[in-house]
Structure 1
Amino acid sequence: MLVASGRGNSDDLLHSSHTAGLSAEDRNLATALVLGTLRWQIALDGRIQTMLQRPDQRLAEPVAIALRLGAFQLLHLDRIPPHAAINESVELVRASGNPHATGMANAILRKVMTQKPGRPIHESTSALATRLSHPGWMVERWASNYGRSVAIKICEAGQRELGAPELFADSAEQDLPRMDDGSRLVAELAAVAAPGAARVWDTCAAPGGKSLILAKRLPGAKVLATDVSPRRLTAMRSRIAEYSYAAAMEIEVVDATLPPASLGTFDLILADVPCSGTGTLARNPEIRLRLMPADLSRHASRQRKILSAALKALEPGGRLLYSTCSLEPEECERVVEAVLAEKEFAGVVRAVSVEPLLRKQELLNGKLEGAVRGEYLRTLPGVHPGDGFFAALMERVG
């Protein structure tokens, strides 16, 4: 209920006391049910709505959740027998305090079981978005920015369970943090951008994976990892403590939009800023249910402040890598271009192509074709391994 109402997220739920006592098998099933139902919620709701006696009928949230869980199992989860999926969902409706809705729930789920959805010869973008359970406005944007075929690949990637990392040949090394390919790629690019850096700042560091990569790759550097959230930094400190090569890392609570002058200046800065997260919908499926177009400008405003503040802390000759896990230009290219156009950075900071950095990456196993667009890195779910990321490299020249 907390996730459905927007007051929680799937990751917190799946790592909470609600699942702590489950066996490994049951915990895996709970993960599949929660993430799968969230990934397919838009399509499931559309299908269920057509089976109601009144198409405009608004269901109580507990009833809607039970129907989604049941429909997801019937349509996408072969490991659950259909009769068990239906019976358990009907019992959830009863247990939620809505016994009057059990007959309706049973009837709808039996229709779902017997009436399998077909595929039209041609789909509008709106129909495609509904079938692949993404908001229409998102898919329209992706089709416009990347082309219809790529938009389909992005949507299809958003519906798949997460696989093992595949971009780096050494992903199984015990002393490296386990993380998504796209997320690690950003950290590796930052490290290779300034291999001689003495002072490094990871501005928005939690949960800490990128900070660990920086500490591993730059053993002679003094790494400062900051985040605005004390709660997230507490969890990060516990994670960092597991890696001996990060023992000297400094961790502080800092608002990266207004960093104190006492932080000093840095040779290398990684600004992996908070964003909409539209490149991570397989990992964070609830984002698609909450994000609205107007949210992008709010994110961009904060991102410009972080980038501007970080550039002011960059030493002459120093380099900064700006990154997001967003697919939206407002949070990516346009943020970089807007900040570099500011008077105080004109002739002082320049954009640098990421392509030479990718060539230096001997760890890559060759799956990033088309990932460089102009001077920037742009990975896309379903096209490249891992989540979708954007990265832009900047250098202070004066």
Structure 2
Amino acid sequence: MNKHYNLRAIAAKAVYQVLDHGQSLSLLLPMLQTPLGDKDRALLQELCFGILRTLPQLEWIIRQLMAKPLTGKQRQAHYLLMVGVYQLLHTRIPPHAALAETVEGAVVLKMPQLKGLVNGVLRQFQRQQAELQAASLEGESHFLHPSWLVKRLQQAYPAHWQAILEANNQRPPMWLRVNRLHHSREAYLDLLAQADIAASAHPSIPEAVKLDVPCNVGRLPGFDKGWVTVQDASAQGCALLLAPQPGEDILDLCAAPGGKTTHILELAPGARVTAVDIDPQRLARIRENLLRLGLEAQVLAGDGTRPGEWNQDRTWDRILLDAPCSATGVIRRHPDIKWLRRDRDIEELAALQRQILDAAWPLLKPGGTLLYATCSVLPEENSAQISTFLAGHSNAVLVETGDAAHPGRQCFPAADDGDGFFYAKMIKSDAPGILTRTEQA
């Protein structure tokens, strides 16, 4: 295809939109990638993700190289400098190519007068690279996280907060969920081997497969036929802990984009599943996933805090509440979370989670199961949330690992495992006065 774009300028614009205008990279990037070839799509993702992953380091380096920062309309050129420094520091792109393309990006950004500045700063960085790189890893910037989040993790997990930060800064593994309605995991691993895709099975999650090297879904055998879904190992734990059964009425609340909805249906064919999400646009993703996998569910737009608006006195055997959260457990997949989230958001999110949990509980049949889940690692959204809920609901019985002080199961991101995730499985008891019962799920 003819190339009529400058990838470095596109990356600078994307980072500008995220950091200066609060846009989500996961929504922005697919639109920017549409006109690009496969290799350039991958490189654009690497540049954007990498810059947001290492932002404090890049900011510190650029401050050392410039007498005063670029502001106002020239902010995009500031991010173009980041694109250049990131390439020189963290990619194998030949330096001359990285420099030439990045300097040309100033013209594409309609700032030709800054070509000399961009070129000069990047060449100065090349001359001082070893010294600046070493110095940039000292102090708070070493953690590559905002200070408020570092402090929260230090307070919550004094023994292993650094391990959480380190895991957040790594590139995430690519996990697949094999559709048991089509193949066993062993049979699908054979298909991957035949396609020269190296992969391994998760030791405890029965349908989970990790690719040695992430690849385009177009290479995966039978992806378009619904044989497999891209889903993190920890996220796969939700439907497994919910333990749906055929013939049951099951509510998936806050369901978009539908990965857990489809997993429920794969585990329990014949279950009557209703998927609800507040965002009508994101409901399209649920329908797309159902269609690709050949599965059926009722899909509704609805606010989890006001179920009376979309639920007509119906009760459910099982409810999966994948609550809106800070997403601090999936930072390695969405590094923009570090810079879009604010400390004050945590209290607001915890209040919203409480509202949805309190509203969902009456929808559960006596003896029914509710699984509360988040992709957060913060206690305020997880164990503390469940402690408060159990204290206020005498008919809620905890059926999950944990203890009275720390109810539920908290997973942390790990290089060869899933993302950071939290689960709390509760049964609605007929016996009043039972607050918690802890047992292996």
Other structure's SS at 1:277 match: coil
Aligned residue in 2 for 1:189 = 241
Match of 2:306 among 245, 258, 276: 258
Aligned residue in 2 for 1:25 = 39
**Separation in 2, partners of 1:266, 1:384:** 36
Aligned residue in 2 for 1:95 = 108
Structure-2 change in CA distance of 1:377 and 1:329 (3 Å): same
Amino acid of the structure 1 residue aligned with 2:144: S
**Separation in 2, partners of 1:91, 1:237:** 42
Aligned residue in 1 for 2:84 = 70
Other structure's SS at 1:271 match: strand
- 5 Å matches for 1:128-277? 129-147=140-158, 150-165=160-175, 167=202, 168=205, 170-171=207-208, 175-190=227-242, 192=243, 195=245, 198-244=248-294, 246-247=295-296, 249-260=297-308, 261-262=311-312, 264-277=314-327
**Separation in 2, partners of 1:380, 1:104:** 43
Match of 2:411 among 350, 370, 379: 379
Aligned residue in 2 for 1:47 = 61
Other structure's SS at 2:292 match: coil
Aligned partners of 2:253 and 2:319 also within 8 Å: yes
TM-score when scaled to structure 1? Answer: 0.85
Aligned residue in 1 for 2:120 = 107
Aligned partners of 1:350 and 1:397 also within 8 Å: yes
Aligned partners of 1:130 and 1:136 also within 8 Å: no
Amino acid of the structure 1 residue aligned with 2:150: V
Aligned partners of 1:176 and 1:213 also within 8 Å: no
**Separation in 2, partners of 1:147, 1:197:** 45
Aligned partners of 1:39 and 1:133 also within 8 Å: yes
- 5 Å matches for 1:51-62? 51-54=65-68, 58=71, 60-62=74-76
Q: Deviations over 1:35-65 (max 9, x none)?
A: 11111122211221122114x6647320121
Amino acid of the structure 1 residue aligned with 2:50: G
Displacement after TM superposition at 1:195 (Å): 3.9
Q: CA RMSD in A?
A: 2.5
Unaligned runs of 5+ in 1: 356-372
**Separation in 2, partners of 1:336, 1:241:** 35
Alignment of 1:352 with 2:399, yes or no, is yes
TM-score when scaled to structure 2? Answer: 0.77
Structure-2 change in CA distance of 1:57 and 1:21 (3 Å): closer
Equivalent pairs, count: 366
Aligned partners of 2:262 and 2:289 also within 8 Å: no
Other structure's SS at 2:329 match: helix
Match of 1:294 among 336, 340, 344: 344
**Separation in 1, partners of 2:134, 2:153:** 22
Amino acid of the structure 2 residue aligned with 1:389: F
Aligned partners of 1:6 and 1:290 also within 8 Å: no
Amino acid of the structure 1 residue aligned with 2:323: V
Unaligned runs of 5+ in 2: 1-15, 176-200, 210-220, 431-441
Aligned partners of 1:203 and 1:225 also within 8 Å: yes
Q: Deviations over 1:199-223 (max 9, x none)?
A: 1100010000001111111123211
Aligned partners of 1:376 and 1:390 also within 8 Å: yes
Q: Deviations over 1:11-52 (max 9, x none)?
A: 223322x32232222211111111111111222112211221
Aligned partners of 2:384 and 2:406 also within 8 Å: no
Amino acid of the structure 2 residue aligned with 1:250: Q
Alignment of 1:395 with 2:436, yes or no, is no
Aligned partners of 2:387 and 2:406 also within 8 Å: no
**Separation in 1, partners of 2:70, 2:41:** 34
Divergent runs of 4+, >6 A? none
